[in-house]
Amino acid sequence: MAKNTVSVKVTKDGLNKIKDNAIVIGFFKDKINLSGELKKFDNENENILSSYIKDMQFKGDKGETKNIYVNKKVKTVVLVGLGEEDKFNFEILSNAVAETSKKLRDSSIETFSILLSSFRNSKMKEEDAVEKISISLFLGLYKFADYKTKDKENKKYVKEIKILTDSNKSFENQLKFASAVGDAVAKTRDLVNTPPNIANTAYVAGYVKELAKNSNLKCTVFDEKQIDGMKMGCLSAVGRGSVNRPKLAVLEYAGAGREKPIALVGKGVTFDTGGYNLKPYPYILNMKDDLGGAAASIHIIEVCAKLKLPINLIVVTPLCENMIDADAFRPDDVLTAFNGVTVEIKNTDAEGRLILADALSYAASLKPVAIVDIASLTGASMVVLGPIGTPIISTDEKLTEKLKEASKKSLERIWELPLWPEYDDSIKSDVADIKNISEEGDAGVIIGAAFLKNFVDEIPWLHIDIGTTVWSKVDKGILTKGGTGASVRLMVEFLREWK
């Protein structure tokens, strides 16, 4: 998994010295000026750029691209429109670079160069531009073709990309960070995209153990018998309908001495049929993405170890498969969670919050300074924000503000929803402490969070619902069809700036 990763490096080679298959140059709308090194490059190539721009009326509109065949040291020059300069930002930059790199790859280009100075305005630092360009290249050029045997298009890969600069800076830290994050997103996507008959609970548990070994992380995997012994009645019940038995994987990273850890909990349902409340077609498709929270969490802690971030982090991932069997849990059952709270089951397709109940209360028992959970929890997230952003809910304003800052830097969009006490009434049960859904069906994202709040004690807590953003139906910009790696970039930025 995560194979054929492109090599990205920064070089001080001038345009006149570059020998490559293609060079990518950005232009702002109605500011198509050739000056300095670019003008010299144009003169040395018989004014091919200026002539083409004039004749073809290239305007630099956002999303506009033109290829010029040169066939000299540089075979092709790609002109990329960036829109109006005063509206240019890192999001436009990232999508432009990613989209252009895909087009070059699909044209069988294996190496190309990017002129850094043409992809930034006066507000952008070189270091930030290099970091964003590099991450965007890793994300945009990702492809999952492990199970393709005949499609030759899936064998096209870019091998090397140079970012051209006249700066004396090394950009070593930016490239290291971008590589670590890009690798983590790719691995998260791989795990989500892997078919559920392969990526079952045993497979994921083994994957976690191998990751921990390679990253020098402490790893503990609890099996079904141990889960029962720990009285995790919710995880046990959800998982017992499958031949792929439930597990609980815990990873620990120590980078800050004796400081209290942050706890990260990731939902890991390897496939969700909905149980006896069976999902109809086509909603049952792609339910392998229900392990997206766990997949993200384990790779987030891997990045922390790679970058040696000065924090202590514990990752808790409950792993199970929600299937139908004679022993499967059913509506009207009452389950007891790790912290003793009893739960009446009203819908077996609201299973994610059940396994998180045990995982969150287990994490709370470790007395962390804060708890964050990542879960593809609700389809209602589509109603709230569509596929564009991720809803979040928190009990702590400081955590929320930290995540909002991380959102701006990582370019993963989030939006905070309220957790008003009136929502608690919707999950009151007549026969148990609480029930796992509201029977009215309103405010699905918030009701899911209202349920989870019962399992974090008074510890500052933040809930990230990637129910929609975990999967992409489009191949555009930094997105590719399939798993997105949602929340990896967001949480790495969040933890990077923890102090």
H/E stretch holding 10? strand 7-11
How far apart (Å, rounded) are the C-alpha atoms in residues 377 and 468? 9
Instruction: Print burial letters for 391-423: b (CB count within 10 Å at least 16), e (below 16).
Output: bbbbbeeebbebbeebbebbbbebeebebeeeb
Is the Cα torsion angle 15, 16, 19, 21 positive or negative in sign? positive
What Cα–Cα distance (Å) separates residue 470 from each residue in 100, 189, 274? 24, 9, 18
- Catalytic, 353? Answer yes
- Among candidate residues 279, 404, 413, 481, the one labeled active-site is 279
Q: What is the DSSP code string of 225-287?
A: HHHHHTT-HHHHHHHTTSSS--EEEEEEEE-STTSPPEEEEE-EEEEE--TTSPPPTTTTTTG
Options 353, 409, 453, 496, the catalytic residue: 353
Alpha-carbon distance of 355 to 375, in angstroms, equals 11
Query: Of the candidates 232, 314, 225, which has an alpha carbon nearest to the alpha carbon of residue 266?
Result: 314
Give rounded-to-5 percent helix, strand, coil for the chain: 40, 20, 40
Among 79, 36, 77, 85, smallest CA distance to 57 is for 79
Q: Tell me if residue 336 falls in helix, strand or coil.
A: strand
Q: Which two tokens stand for residue 168?
A: 């004396």
- Which residues share a beta bridge with 115? 164
Reduced to 3 states (helix: H, G, I; strand: E, B; else coil), residue 95 is: helix
| Residues 199/291, Cβ–Cβ less than 8 Å | yes
Task: List active site positions.
Answer: 279, 353
